[in-house]
Structure 1
Amino acid sequence: MFTNDEEEFFKMSISKFENMLKTNKICFFDSEEFENIILHYLDSGKLNLSKKALKLGLEQHPNSVGLKLVQVELLVFEDKLEKAEKLLNEIQAIDPRNDEVYIQRAAIYSKQNKHHKAIECLNIALQYTEDFADVYSLLGMEYLYIDEVSLAKDAFIKCLEHDEEDQTALYNVVYCYDFLDNHTDAIQFLEEFIDHNPYSEVAWHQLGRQFFNIKDYRKAIEAYDFASIIDEKFTGAYIEKGKAYEKLKMFQQAINCYKEVLQIEDPSSYVYRKIGWCYENLKNLDKALKYYLKSVHEDPLMDKSWVAIADLYLKKNDFKKALQFVNKALSIEEHNYLYWRRYAIINKDLQFYEEAELGFRKAIDHGDTLLDTWLFWSDVLVALNSNTTAIEKLLKATEIFNDENEIEYRLAGLYTLTNEIEKALYHLTNALALNYKNHTLLKELFPMVWENKKVQTYIKNFNKH
């Protein structure tokens, strides 16, 4: 990281270099200047400019080990690993104690998926380096590549011991704890880190996340409060605090948090949707609708907001408008079984049975595993006079759901309608054995079957047993 004076000098070097390219006048730079210029363009994705800077740098400083190491980094970036390795061997012969030699060799091994060899190289680099934080950070990443998450965590912690301001390392430590599902130790680590770095808003924010994970929402809110006090524009802290308030059913406080976010940054479809959801829970449906509409105005592809609007209209029993908005969501995300299920149920209530049948079929095709979906699907098929198909679907459902009386009653009714009396009685027996009290389901779904004297007699005699 540059000091202010170094930053100013670096900017002047870049300006001087670019001016040289425009005028074709050769200017002198020391080798370190060239290294910084090359890496700047490489980090910016300007590969051609970094190559030009390297070429000019080596012309002016042909024996610079630093520039040759930067050349290795460029070759690795371009996947020219054999050339990079050959050049590294030459550099190592000249300067065997240079930590960058082992760091770049580790980068080559890593690209070749030889992560254990990369780790060996980085451990050697630790013997020579002055930048321990950087090497430990690289070690942590290599351990992650081979799923040694605990060792990765230890490496990132050591990185932080050498550079407490390395936020990436801090996030990585917490990621490792999360992966290990060890929230208690994560909390202990973060609290100790905060003891030494009380003004680290990232650490407070991550501490809040850990308390949220263990469902201690009040402590999570306290931690998010500290994060937002340290950095008043830390929107992540306000959003997470809002979620914690939601869990405590303190919806007005959650709304206040989300509105803070809108004061800090540009309008957000996600935040509008969260506010809408909170107002919905406060039974203020008009304000909920207002914010859901703001959400889709901000991002017309926010399918969850279209569905939220549909659900609002369902609460108002306005099925036609609900269907209109579910269709909007499906036009964005056609593989979501929950949307297809809503689409089907609304169409069923509107008695649009063909559309409802399509919806239930699509819902199951896309992963719906609810028993009700199968039951409603069969009911719609009955409404379409497709009794044989309804039987097929219910028999399929019996392979998934064992001993469900609602399936058995439906099969009993359908087999009676198709004059397959033996099968009807078999399934009626199963249904009555599973749940005798629910036998009035036949009356609700199949009035004609219910009025059948043989069926009534069978039910009464079954009860006597």
Structure 2
Amino acid sequence: MKNRLSLLVLVFTTFLFSCNDDVTRKGDQLYNEGNYKEAVDAYTEYLKTNPKDIKSLYNRGRAYEEMKELVNAKNDFISVLDIDGDNLNANLSMGKYWYNQKDFNKAIIFFDKVIELDGVRSDAYMLRGRSYHQKGEFDKAMENYNQSINFDNDNAEAFLYRGALKVALTQTKSACQDFTRSSALGSSEASEALAKHCR
């Protein structure tokens, strides 16, 4: 009888975890298809029994972000960081959140953390550069744009924003070279900048 009960518990547990895995996989599939509301529902269902699952918390936050529910997104990213303060993606997302809120000092703190964890993240250098750019700290902005490009010579945004900074510094010829490179990498904004500044 005891063995039968143990077997029943094992079968039930296996079934429960199998169902949970199906729910989180469904959430990922819905997210990838752009069905963000349904993805949030699937992740929320999964998190009822796995409240500290970092992947589901983060992905639900991204789904909220796509739905422009930024406070909910921020709350999920913070939940991830409460579990794992060194989570690269959550730190990067929080940096972007504060950048979009125009709190550049807070944004820089999170981009600093990403760079501390992974010193070759081109996107983190580019975003930290943008934050310094917005604060008017042009030397630091340029340094970060340069680092971003050093780590990824195909980062269209880094070339675009470095070009914009060079325009502000009246380095037009060099700015136009950056806009040309960014445009060649597919940036429509760079094409507009070329038309405006590089005739």
2:143 aligns with 324
- Whether 1:272 and 2:91 are equivalent positions in the alignment is yes
Aligned pairs, how many? 185
Select 1:284's aligned residue among 103, 109, 125.
Answer: 103
- Whether 1:371 and 2:184 are equivalent positions in the alignment is no
Select 1:307's aligned residue among 116, 121, 126.
Answer: 126
Opposite residue 195 of structure 2, the aligned amino acid is L
* TM-superposed deviation, 1:293: 1.4
Is contact 1:246–1:254 with CA below 8 Å preserved after alignment?
Answer: yes
Q: Secondary structure at the match of 1:274?
A: helix
1:351 aligns with 170
Opposite residue 277 of structure 1, the aligned amino acid is K
Pair 298,201 (structure 1): closer, same or farther in 2 beyond 3 Å: same
Q: Which runs of 5+ in 2 are unaligned?
A: 1-13
- Among all aligned residue pairs of Structure 1 and Structure 2, give the percentage whose two residues are the same amino acid: 19
Following superposition of structure 1 onto structure 2, how do residues 403-418 of structure 1 map, counting pairs within 5 Å? none
Is contact 1:204–1:223 with CA below 8 Å preserved after alignment?
Answer: yes
Opposite residue 339 of structure 1, the aligned amino acid is A
Aligned mates of 2:48, 2:123 — CA distance in 1: 32
Q: Runs ≥4 in structure 1, deviation > 6 angstroms?
A: none
Q: Secondary structure at the match of 2:198?
A: helix
* TM-superposed deviation, 1:271: 1.6
* TM-superposed deviation, 1:290: 1.4
Select 2:62's aligned residue among 243, 248, 252.
Answer: 243
- Whether 1:255 and 2:77 are equivalent positions in the alignment is no
Q: Secondary structure at the match of 1:240?
A: helix
1:342 aligns with 161
Q: Deviations over 1:8-38 (max 9, x none)?
A: xxxxxxxxxxxxxxxxxxxxxxxxxxxxxxx
Aligned mates of 1:296, 1:365 — CA distance in 2: 27
Q: Deviations over 1:162-221 (max 9, x none)?
A: xxx7xxxxxxxxxxxxxxxxxxxxxxxxxxxxxx86862221112223443454433322
TM-score (norm 1): 0.36
Q: Deviations over 1:30-52 (max 9, x none)?
A: xxxxxxxxxxxxxxxxxxxxxxx
Following superposition of structure 1 onto structure 2, how do residues 421-436 of structure 1 map, counting pairs within 5 Å? none
Aligned mates of 1:368, 1:250 — CA distance in 2: 27
TM-score (norm 2): 0.78
Following superposition of structure 1 onto structure 2, how do residues 127-206 of structure 1 map, counting pairs within 5 Å? 200-206=19-25
Aligned mates of 1:368, 1:204 — CA distance in 2: 37
- Whether 1:212 and 2:8 are equivalent positions in the alignment is no
